[in-house]
Structure 1
């Protein structure tokens, strides 16, 4: 279990670091500028250092820390971690999350998310910013009902639209199954049947681009996970497809890393991550909580 938990955290961060180089470029622009990104090289729109990660990893770490501080009722502690991170003036932060964090005051996170949805976001809050950070919930709890409850709650903190938390729940149900012994592709097949994501089972390349809309993101994540045979195939594919590459690669990389485990991840990719020591520490603490 420890190997899988560490694999999930490192897999997510590797995908984030690779995709951070190519974020906002099209597939053709990536090809002209880089040929094909196959490693962690930094640069990109955020001028990342080699091994530096973006908001995807930072918010995943924040969720993890909040859960570890108060597993039974983590939402307020997660919120405190979000605000600490926001106060560092991060390079990369999504519009929906920025709208909520910049206006949040004392009170309910859910109310802040609804206010941002209605007053600042034009009724559009179905972004992928909660899907990118929800994985630690599936790693922390042995009870699936608790996983689903906290998964929804952490999503509703910033994203009012139910499409966001629905995607998070499906994703974390898959993660929960894999953590407890199921095969990745079998778990995906079981969890997306009867949902709007069932078409992913046909193996065809998604029609919409892999942008920040959570439904499009989820379709592309499922495409890479169902049609690739190795962890590197998953994150390299996602990082070179264009658009919201850091988030798609992080979300897909998290499940792919969970499935293969930390020991099977390429060492060079793990060792170059600037957050390596934090991920190792948090992975161990999540394991101690989960067991």
Structure 2
């Protein structure tokens, strides 16, 4: 039997770590300009760098949205990705249980992640919050998500599903049909719009194909059968029917879809908040000087941005730039194969509003929009800092696809931008300085880059090792990787 991946287990472990850390690092770095226009970002940070991890740069601008204690810490994007990881670890069978995840999200909404001391529901977006406020959320999340989407005119396609999807592409990465099912389930518990679901799906599938060795040789990739079920028309109908779950398109049958029966393996059990908070307090008290957050607690707002250095543009950044390096041919082909394989989901779905203009088919417009965002001519075409559509799902997955398909700069002018590490650094810096929903955009892009290049040689060491909660993250990721690779080895025998 042919191997399920061309990568060694050591390479797979490194890419699993890279994917999850890539999400967390991108999320934390991008917070510096979240919800800013590009003009504001450049005024505050010039052309960078922004201080991050163990590396110097312009300090993060403090305002009502971000503070010095937030430096090097991830946001709700990574929080929610970690909830998916914990849910998958609990069930342990490779399948995401939507009810279990919904319960974890509701718990996080009220208690944060107590083992890390994070604030309840920090940074929560409107759509996810509105869905979680529904009484039926923990029993029928698909319907709760549809009701919010339907009440908003069926035109909301936010990025709250794609931002947390990294871990979905790692779980059972060798079985694309399982990845697809998990991605759709993880998205649909809070997002009913097919564009949001599709964004999470194609990000997850691309990650899984990267872990199977894709993206290195276009000729070899073109001969591979990534998901054998795609040749079966019945499978396409199955996925289209999955999009209908929770909607009113088929009456009671779709409004109240069946979920897996509760078992000891998938039944949600609340965390012991008091014990976890006590353990965290003892850990922080043991740290020299206290925790990072404790050091800056109760600061006077008048001290925000005090003694901030003057912004001076770097005469030379050190690499060509995201548009100038061009596309890596093999990566571009792999990314296009993913979009092509699953484009039918937005073209043929009946989960859609009425036509927006006379004679215009909404689904065709969605398909064109998806391709335009994933394969733009340049980064400005994505208008990341456009305030009207900052959180658009296709904008987020689009910049992630655009970033991960870039070539490594063949002739950088400084060592910081050499190789995969330099590409990661340059892309995250440039996307952050574009403003908009920068933390989410960088989280999605960082996870794809981590899946492509891994952790050890794929991102700046001073960045990921300087993260808050780095020890906890390493332990959590390694436990997840141990389980995934054990399942992979069993399947590969």
TM-score computed with the length of structure 1 as normaliser: 0.92
Residue 82 of structure 2 aligns with which residue?
A: 61
Whether 1:150 aligns to 2:182 is yes
Tell me which residue corresponds to 2:167: 136
Asked whether the equivalents of residues 50 and 272 of structure 1 are also in contact (C-alpha less than 8 Å), the reply is no
- Counterpart CA distance in 2 for 1:198 and 1:206 is 16
**C-alpha offsets along residues 95-154 of structure 1, whole Å, 9 cap, x if unaligned?**
1111111224442110111122223x3433311100001111110113111110010011
Structure 1 unaligned regions, length at least 5:
none
Distance 2:469 2:106 in 1: 19
Q: CA RMSD in A?
A: 2.0
**Deviation of 1:12 (Å):** 0.8
**Partners of 1:12 and 1:57 within 8 A in 2:** yes
Structure 1 residue ranges, 4+ long, deviating more than 3 angstroms after superposition: 41-44, 193-203
Distance, in Å, in 2 between the alignment partners of 1:228 and 1:249 is 18
SS at match of 1:188: helix
What is aligned with 2:231? Answer: none
SS of the aligned residue for 1:263 comes to: coil
Contact kept? 1:6, 1:279, Cα under 8 Å: no
Greater alpha carbon shift after TM alignment, 150-159 vs 163-172: 163-172
Deviation at 1:206, TM superposition (A): 5.0
Alpha-carbon distance between aligned partners in 1 of 2:96 and 2:35, rounded to the nearest angstrom: 36
- Give, in whole Å, the separation in 2 of the partners of 1:42 and 1:91: 18
Relative to structure 1, is the Cα distance of residues 73 and 32 closer, same or farther in structure 2, using a 3 angstrom cutoff? closer
CA distance in 2, matches of 1:234, 1:208: 14
What is the rounded CA distance, in whole Å, between the counterparts of 1:137 and 1:126 in structure 2? Answer: 20
Q: Which has the higher contact order (CA 8 A, sep 6+)?
A: 1
Does the CA contact (< 8 Å) of 2:23 and 2:166 recur in 1? Answer: no
Does the Cα contact within 8 Å between 1:14 and 1:270 map onto a contact in 2?
A: yes
Q: Give 2:66's aligned residue.
A: 46
Shift of 1:28: 1.2
CA distance, structure 1, for counterparts of residue 197 and residue 37 of structure 2? 28
Structure with bigger helix share is 1
Query: In structure 2, what is the Cα distance between the partners aligned to 1:244 and 1:228?
Result: 24
Instruction: Kindly state the Cα deviation for residue 224 of structure 1 after the two structures are TM-superposed.
Output: 2.3
Conserved 8 A contact 2:50-2:60: no
Asked if the contact 1:46/1:91 (under 8 Å) is kept, the reply is: no
Query: Does structure 1 residue 238 correspond to structure 2 residue 439?
Result: no
C-alpha distance 278-185 of structure 1, shift in aligned 2 (>3 A): farther
Deviations 1:64-108 (A, max 9, x none): 111111143522222222122111323311111111112244421
Counterpart Cα distance in 2 of 1:221 and 1:73: 23
Describe the SS at the equivalent of 2:196: helix
Residues 85-96 of structure 1 mapped to structure 2, 5 A cutoff: 85-88=108-111, 89-96=120-127
Counterpart among 269, 272, 275 of residue 463 in structure 2: 269
Residue matched to 2:480: 286
Paired residues for 1:116-131 under 5 Å: 116-119=148-151, 121-131=152-162
Q: Is residue 2:86 matched to residue 1:75?
A: no
Cα distance in 2 for partners of 1:267, 1:202 equals: 30
Using the TM superposition, name which of 133-142 and 143-152 deviates more. 133-142
1:109 aligns with 2:303: no
Rounded to whole Å, the distance in 1 between the matches of 2:470 and 2:176 is 29
Partner of 2:378: 204
5+ residue gaps, structure 2: 1-11, 53-58, 112-119, 216-330, 344-366, 385-389, 409-422, 486-493
Residue number in structure 1 paired with 2:28:
17
Instruction: Select the structure of larger CA radius of gyration.
Output: 2
Q: Which residue of 1 aligns with 2:401?
A: 222
Give, in angstroms, the shift of residue 174 of structure 1: 0.8
Matches of 1:131 and 1:202 in 2, distance apart? 19
CA distance in 1 between counterparts of 2:180 and 2:472 reads: 26
TM-score, normalised via structure 2 length: 0.56
